[in-house]
Amino acid sequence: MSKQAAEHHHQAAEHYEHAARHHREAAKHHEAGDHLSAAHHAHTAQGHLHHATHHATEAAKAHVEHHGHKAAKAVAH
């Protein structure tokens, strides 16, 4: 189970990093006045953030399933 949780953590990190790159690109395009490209990058970043959140949630669930109620309390806070 911890192997599965680790994979979700890795996937979450990858998606967070992709989201950050797209936000930086969006900022560059906004500064240049290219709002269409900025919107595209912002929207893409939002998708990566959604996937990152999913993987982070799955990792937390895996911890709860593996470690029981003590982990559930930690996740709830």
Alpha helices in the chain (DSSP H): 2-32, 35-67, 69-76
pLDDT value, residue 68: 72
- When pLDDT is averaged across residues 28-44 and rounded to a whole number, the result is 98
**pTM above threshold 0.85:** no
Please provide the average confidence, as pLDDT, over all residues in the chain.
90
Residue pLDDT, tens place only, 13-23:
999 999 999 99
Tokens of 67: 């470690």
Residue pLDDT, tens place only, 42-72:
999 999 999 999 999 999 898 888 777 665 5
